[in-house]
A and B are shown apart, each in its own frame.
Chain A
Amino acid sequence: MNLYKQKYALVIVTTCWWIFWAAVQVLVMVQYGIPLRESLIDSVATGAVLAFAGFDITVMVKYYRPSAKNAFYVVVASVVLAALGCALLNWILKQLSSDADYLTTLKSTMLIRFVFIWLMTLILGIQGKVWWFIKEQSQGEQRVKETKRLMREAELSNLRQQLQPHFLFNSLNSISALTIAQPEQARKMIEQLSDFLRGTVRKDGNQLVSLREELHHLQLYLDIEKVRFGHRLITKISADESLLDMKLPSLLLQPVLENAIKFGLYDTIGEVVISLDAKTDQNDLLIEIKNPFDPETAAPKSGTGFGLSSVQRRLALIFYRNDLLSTIQKENIFITLIKVPQR
């Protein structure tokens, strides 16, 4: 669409330019006492020759990169085209007029005509070069934009698919153990694991889902983890009914919860309470996830492990903001805060 507009504008400008110079030429010639008929024919013919030379040179410069050598070629080409144009013009005008005075004038003005046509051709050549250059550059920009978009999408899908193999293999091991004494329980866990995996492969990284949907998915995950860790793992999820329709990127919270469980279970001994609270803050969705940890042994950089940095990266790619994930350590509780803007 843009390109069409550009072409259209170019045609109009060129036509106006041509009419303007034709008018100037007619005026000048009439003033020097040349009959109107001859003046008009002369102007139209000059214009036609100019158009021919200008078109030629514009096509030629399309394939030239701007350089000193090529600038020389353009000058030579414009001289040759101007000479050819003058010969053609001379021939046409002689065919069309029999006015003796006019023909004498024509002969005496040949040099100035040549210079005029040459300069015009040169200007058109330079203008054409600039036009092609701008066009090429805007196409290049478009390409860069497209590449960036594709990279962003690839990165998003990459971040999303970081399913922990540990989780999968340990879950399968639990199922294997259950098949012996509690086959019914084993079947249930296979179902949960399947539902969970289906949920993770179905969604694309850009997609926004409702909090309701995300929490349902999390519940499947937590149920599986509870089978694995038994009574050690206690989870509390609270979200007001009114918040359930708010939107957030799909599968955003699972890695955060995974991180919380990992730190909770592997950094402390005994019962572990993991909690998730959904709130609103100035219309944004605010998720708070808490897990216990041991401030004595946890390295100071703990919590910025892969789980959280990938979540932060995803939020930045989707919302173009870097301040949406923050962490707080309060005594032996680690709090992860996630803000999701509602568009």
Chain B
Amino acid sequence: MKVIIIDDEPLARGIVKEFLKDFSQVDVIAECGDGFEGVKAIAENHPDLIFLDIQMPKINGFEMLELIDNPPPVIFTTAFDEYAIKAFETHAIDYLLKPFGRERFDKAMNKWLSQKKPNASAALAEEISPPESQNRVVVKKGQNIVVLPVQRIHYFEAFDDYVKIHTTEGFYLKKKTMSYFEKTLDASQFVRVHRSYLMNLQELTRIEPMEKDNHVVLLKSGTRIPLSQTGYAKLKGVLGI
């Protein structure tokens, strides 16, 4: 069975590799020092299990998982993150708090070997908002991974199972729900003005009336997005008019 270890500290990867020597059925096929390498290695090798650190350069462990369509089972290895512990308790195979001993490690491995639910972390990627995610969104464009600070996002648009994230340089697609973004982003900056639209208030230039009681919002980019009745009321509330 194939295993990938993703951690930015070489010694931390070393100890996982060392403990894995006891499991002869397991092969460590790759070691990655950051999330970008991780995404690539997972796409190329389709591992049966990954060991994943949370705090890593550029993109964290949660954000990395979001970029993978069918994430493999995960055992998290992290030093200290109350939030993370609470969040993935129910979803990941297990989480190991650094420093961990051989016994604790074996317990996690046995848990995986006995249950082996291939897509255990798919639910995880959908439901958990990564820590510190409020100020950026990680997206994939072709082979490239882009870290988008929220300031650069004009608005979100619902698009079947995806969400279109509109920015100055075009849009990105991400397999998430509108309510996910509405919940995780700063509510004073992003307002759900329509069932299918979530906009950045900084982009607003004016609200224009349309036929009857309808309104549209004109963005700095020149785009017009529709306002629902409740969205119009919400927007007025946030702007204090």
Given the known inter-chain contacts A267-B58, A299-B135, A299-B149, please indicate yes or no for A173 contacting B12, CB distance below 8 A: yes
Which chain B residues border A300 with CB–CB below 8 Å? Answer: 151
| Residue of A with least CB distance to B134 | A299
Are B58 and A228 in touch, CB under 8 angstroms?
Answer: no
Are B79 and A229 in touch, CB under 8 angstroms?
Answer: no
- A169 to B99, alpha carbons, bound, how many Å? 6
Are B80 and A228 in touch, CB under 8 angstroms?
Answer: no
Given the known inter-chain contacts A266-B58, A297-B58, please indicate yes or no for A173 contacting B10, CB distance below 8 A: no
Interface set, chain A 180-194, CB cutoff 8 A to B: 180-181
Are B57 and A297 in touch, CB under 8 angstroms?
Answer: no
- A300 to B150, alpha carbons, bound, how many Å? 11
1/0 per position for A294-311, CB-CB distance to B under 8 A? 101111100000000000
Are B15 and A170 in touch, CB under 8 angstroms?
Answer: no
Q: Within the complex, which residue of B8, B79, B99, B147 is in contact with A265, where a contact is CB–CB below 8 Å?
A: B8
Given the known inter-chain contacts A177-B14, A269-B34, please indicate yes or no for A229 contacting B9, CB distance below 8 A: yes
1/0 per position for B93-116, CB-CB distance to A under 8 A? 000011111000000000000000
Are A172 and B136 in touch, CB under 8 angstroms?
Answer: no
Are A170 and B57 in touch, CB under 8 angstroms?
Answer: no
Interface set, chain A 134-192, CB cutoff 8 A to B: 165-166, 169-170, 172-178, 180-181
Are A269 and B9 in touch, CB under 8 angstroms?
Answer: no
| Residue of A with least CB distance to B37 | A269
Are A170 and B151 in touch, CB under 8 angstroms?
Answer: no
Interface set, chain A 11-66, CB cutoff 8 A to B: none
A227 within 8 Å of B (CB atoms): yes
Given the known inter-chain contacts A173-B11, A173-B98, A265-B8, please indicate yes or no for A297 contacting B79, CB distance below 8 A: no
Q: Within the complex, which residue of A174, A176, A181, A297 is in contact with B136, where a contact is CB–CB below 8 Å?
A: A297
How far, in Å, is A228 (CB) from chain B's closest CB? Answer: 5
Are A177 and B34 in touch, CB under 8 angstroms?
Answer: no
Main secondary structure of the interface of A (DSSP, over half): helix
Which chain B residues border A181 with CB–CB below 8 Å? Answer: 14, 18
Are A169 and B79 in touch, CB under 8 angstroms?
Answer: yes
How far, in Å, is B134 (CB) from chain A's closest CB? Answer: 10
Are A180 and B15 in touch, CB under 8 angstroms?
Answer: yes
A268 within 8 Å of B (CB atoms): yes
Are B11 and A227 in touch, CB under 8 angstroms?
Answer: yes
- A232 to B34, alpha carbons, bound, how many Å? 12
Looking at A173, A174, A181, the one whose CB has the most chain B CB atoms below 10 A away is A173
- A227 to B148, alpha carbons, bound, how many Å? 32
Are A269 and B58 in touch, CB under 8 angstroms?
Answer: yes
B88 within 8 Å of A (CB atoms): no
Q: Within the complex, which residue of B9, B99, B101, B149 is in contact with A297, where a contact is CB–CB below 8 Å?
A: B149
Q: Within the complex, which residue of A170, A180, A267, A299 is in contact with B9, where a contact is CB–CB below 8 Å?
A: A170
B55 within 8 Å of A (CB atoms): yes
How far, in Å, is B99 (CB) from chain A's closest CB? Answer: 4
A residues neighboring B (CB under 8 Å): 165-166, 169-170, 172-178, 180-181, 227-230, 232, 265-269, 294, 296-300
